Copies of this chain bind each other. A is one copy, B any other.
Amino acid sequence: MTTTSQIPVRLDFDAHAARFSRAMNQLDHAATTELDRVEFDPRMRELVRIRASQLNGCAYCIDMHTKDARAVGETEQRLYALPAWRETPYFTARERAALAFTESVTLLAQGHVPQEDYDAVAAEFGPDEIAALVSLIVAINAWNAIAVATRAWEPGSYQP
């Protein structure tokens, strides 16, 4: 992808916090282990990661996870529709529940995950699945925060 504007790196996070950077990779691996254990749909994982990254404004993460989503068979039109998923008929009830919960946890400071949001996700997922989904949301939000705060990684540079 040709880049035509400059989004300068603020801080080389991996260099300046190498120990924490490694722990982030381990956290990510642990989230994957939880997701694998409950056989969480690979396409749904990427939808969650992309939607959180859209809310948090993480350009690197959107680029990475749309490439990964396409690699596991996701369609272009579902990815384009994601910012307006509530008004879109393409997503299953489980996908809609996962996306709603992703927004609620990602916008933590705005609503503190009210009881009705938890009830909605619990109507579609069992306890182990919710725990895996929380792990996934926490991990992608952590990556988003590092990427957006430091602009450490150049959007578009990811290769699957």
State the number of copies, please. 6
Bound complex: CA of A34 vs CA of B19, how far in Å? 7
User: Are B96 and A5 in contact, CB atoms less than 8 angstroms apart?
Assistant: yes
User: Are A112 and B16 in contact, CB atoms less than 8 angstroms apart?
Assistant: no
Write the A59-103 contact mask toward B (1 if CB under 8 angstroms, else 0): 100110011001000011111110111111111110010000000
Q: Which of A89-129 contact B (CB under 8 A)?
A: 89-93, 96, 104-110, 112-113, 118, 122, 127-128
Chain A residues packing against B (C-beta within 8 Å): 1-7, 10-13, 16-17, 19-20, 22-24, 26-27, 29-31, 33-34, 37, 50, 53-59, 62-63, 66-67, 70, 75-81, 83-93, 96, 104-110, 112-113, 118, 122, 127-128, 130-132, 134-135, 137-138, 141-142, 144-146, 148-151, 154-156
Interface centre among A6, A24, A104, A138 (most CB of B within 10 A): A138
